[in-house]
Amino acid sequence: MRRFRRAKIVATIGPASSSPEALRALFLAGVDTFRLNFSHGSHDDHAKVHAAIRALEADTGSTIGILQDLQGPKIRVGTIQGGSIKVAAGEKIRFVRHGQDGTAQSIPLPHPEIFEAVVPGHDLLIDDGRVRVRVTGITSDFIDAQVILGGVISNRKGVNLPGTILNVSPLTEKDRKDLEFGLSLGVDWVALSFVQKPSDVIEARGLIGDRAGLVSKIEKPAAIESIDDILRLSDGVMVARGDLGVEIPHEDVPGRQKELVRACRQAAKPVIVATQMLDSMVGAPTPTRAEASDVATAIYDGADAVMLSAESATGSYPVETVAMMDRIIRATESHKLYRSIVQASQPDNEQTPPHAVAALAADLAETVEAPVIVAFTSSGTTATRIARKRPGLPILAITPHQSTARRMTLLWGVHAALSGDVVSYEEMVERGASTARKEEFAAAGDCIVIVAGVPFGRAGTTNNIRVVTIPHG
């Protein structure tokens, strides 16, 4: 199915959207990649959804991507006497490594890695920052702190440590089991939660190999500080604004979002903007004007994809939410200022022949008013290099590999088509022209631009441009 927009839609699947009928409705409304959130649901639940998506793909003849999102390490306080305690600003409290049924002077925090890493002056944010405390003293068995922002601390509430790099793997034992299960199913992308440093990505890559693309979720300030190295090691990035917005000031999130999107465009890696994009539609049939503007901002920034979480997983209006996001994207991309804004944030050209060829192909296609750029790609790299330019016309990526086609469902402006290997220059020209007609991107007499790497089938070799007129007959 051809989408008449460039940015892609990722939708999280949950109780509101897991049936085959709901998945079909979401796909028809505009979903390009489905997200399986392994923080919830059993392996059996996810296997059924995965099978239903693949059945939908076969039935529609359209390529559909599947992203597995791993839970990652969750840091929580233990249990509290009576279920909760109220603390006030200025109050002194204590966290302890062991115990349960805590009080303000013995709040259980059963995470030895915190006791090894925090120092006086570091902050702990509890319950998404509703309570903020500052460390004043530490031993091997307890942490003393002063309450900066008072509130209620309840059983098992989450703890964020924005100024602390913890010596903890991003992959828990649960994550490792979930990852192996997801890879055995054949997911296309794996999202790694709570990335702090480049070595986290290296660890995950060692387990994933080339069986799926690796998306690093940026939700820790430490990850932003190492973003260049993390990007180099990742296949894509998710700007996870939920936890990121807890750990950095709210007013800094929009600027960080723009920086991350630009860095991903510079590195030619797909970037997803996520969390609370149309949050009010969890319980209402329409979004707020601010939410519509938020989605549009991500599109103006040049994001490859925008993501729905609770809106499609547990909300009352999952299909309507996807349809609304589709409408906002199309309206934004057709606005008279869109091209100038996206081009204003154009990253610097990479000084390599493959990137130069891809950029030249995009400029050439616009100059000759081609309706489409056709990219022959084995690994998806050629299509990614063209998409990095954000051209004003669609990119038809032809690949012999179904796994590559599915991963490209996250790429800006790319429509993937499966086709067998080409072995000659003449076959490339004929296959490109015929596929452009078949996929309804071009008609007889149209002039199209074909980009490929020669020799054919070798990943990463973008070195050839051909201008072709679609023949009649």
Of 12, 33, 275, 384, the catalytic one is 275
Q: Which of 5, 8, 217, 258 is catalytic?
A: 217
Tens digit of each residue's pLDDT (9 = 90 or more) over 229-258: 999 999 999 999 988 999 999 999 999 999
Looking at residue 350, its pLDDT comes to 67
Question: Which of 24, 48, 74, 76 does the annotation list as catalytic?
Answer: 76
State the greatest distance between any 2 C-alpha atoms of the chain, in Å, as a whole number.
83
Beta strands in 321-425, from DSSP E residues, in sequence order: 373-376, 395-399, 414-418
Contact assessment for residue 334 and residue 299, using Cβ atoms and an 8 Å cutoff: no
d(CA 248, CA 423): 52
Phi, psi of 235 (to 5 degrees): -95, -15
Whole-angstrom distance, CA of residue 387 vs CA of residue 349? 13
Q: Which fold would CATH assign to domain 81-160?
A: M1 Pyruvate Kinase; Domain 3 (2.40.33)
Residue 351 has pLDDT above 90, yes or no: no
Q: Is 407 a catalytic residue?
A: no
Strand order in the sheet with 373-376: 414-418, 395-399, 373-376, 447-452, 464-469
Q: What is the mean pLDDT of the chain?
A: 95
Considering only CA atoms, which of 166, 124, 170 is closest in space to residue 147? 124
| Distance of alpha carbon 192 from alpha carbon 162, whole angstroms | 18
Q: What pLDDT, on the 0 to 100 scale, is given for residue 392?
A: 93
Residue 191 CA to its chain's centroid (Å): 7
pLDDT of residue 112: 94
Q: Please report the pLDDT score of residue 463 as a whole number.
A: 85
Q: Which of 28, 71, 301, 322 is nearest to 176 (CA)?
A: 71
**Residue 48: pLDDT over 80:** yes
Catalytic site includes residue 76: yes
Give the range among 285-294, 339-348, 401-410 with minimum mean pLDDT. 339-348
Instruction: State pLDDT tens for residues 434-456.
Output: 999 999 999 999 999 999 887 77
Helical packing angle, 198-208 and 173-185, nearest 10°? 50
Whether 460 shows a pLDDT value over 70: the answer reads no
* pLDDT value for 420: 85
Euclidean distance between the first and the last CA atom of the chain, given in angstroms as a whole number: 24
C-alpha span between 456 and 429 (Å, rounded): 13
Q: What is the mean pLDDT of residues 125-134?
A: 95
pLDDT digits (tens, 9 = 90+) for 137-152: 999 999 999 999 999 9
Q: What kind of fold does domain 353-469 have according to CATH?
A: Pyruvate Kinase; Chain: A, domain 1 (3.40.1380)
Going by pLDDT thresholds of 50, 70 and 90, the confidence category of residue 457 is low
The catalytically annotated residue of 3, 5, 6, 35 is: 35
- Please indicate whether residue 275 is annotated as part of the active site: yes
Query: Which residues neighbour 74 within 8 Å (Cβ) at sequence distance 6 or greater?
Result: 158
Cα 133 to Cα 153: distance, rounded to the nearest angstrom:
11
Q: Domain extents for the chain?
A: 8-72+170-337, 81-160, 353-469
DSSP class of 274: E
CATH class of 8-72+170-337: alpha beta
Instruction: State the pLDDT confidence band at 34, using cuts at 50, 70 and 90.
Output: very high
